[in-house]
Chain A
């Protein structure tokens, strides 16, 4: 398994500001992902964080709003830019361990953001 640490664990943010969330894994992993969980909802994939290249975003998510960095195989950041109350969510980092024929996917504890 993988141990995933996220910072901050929670924050209250002012409208119009930006916040960067950090994700640290205790071992090198090939694949890292960022998910969003809106209040009372399930998880939705935001993007795949690619080491050494630009992140790959899912439909409905754009780099200007959610810039992602992945400087090495154990660390990634997600920035939520120009926040509005609609961005109030849990943001979760996940990693995939294993080979392309079989993988196990683990999640961090999440970063709980409230935008006021």
Chain B
């Protein structure tokens, strides 16, 4: 079993839809959670990061963490064709030798069509 599981999709939605992207994890040491967006032939771009359970909002993006269920989500409101990309969840433990080391999900390919 992988430490981080993410549905690879692909996911296709119409413009304006609400998109829900999800990851589950098995390592309870993970305390730091991130979402990256990766366009084709580009490096990952950091979208959101959070440490605590609950919701964190930034514009059209909301990151949700449920540590008790080991489940994280990214919601995209009013999705746009420019949101079409691969979305990667990533997480790490904190402190000591874990500092800065990320474990990634497989990535979800999202297409938003006009």
Contact = CB atoms under 8 A, between A and B. Distances in A.
Interface of A: 4, 31, 33, 41-45, 48, 56, 92, 94, 96, 100-110, 112
A74 to B, nearest CB: 16
Interface of B: 32, 34, 36, 41-46, 49, 51, 88, 90, 94-95, 97, 99-107
Given A42-B106, A42-B107, A104 B49 contact: yes
B94 A100 contact: yes
A44 B43 CA distance: 14
Q: Chain B binding site: helix, strand, loop or mixed by DSSP?
A: loop
Given A33-B101, A104-B49, A110 B42 contact: yes
Given A41-B106, A42-B88, A100-B94, A107 B43 contact: yes
11 contacts: A4-B43, A42-B106, A43-B44, A45-B102, A56-B97, A94-B100, A100-B94, A104-B46, A105-B102, A106-B46, A110-B43
Nearest to B95: A100
B102 A100 contact: no
Contacts of A108: 43
A34 to B, nearest CB: 11
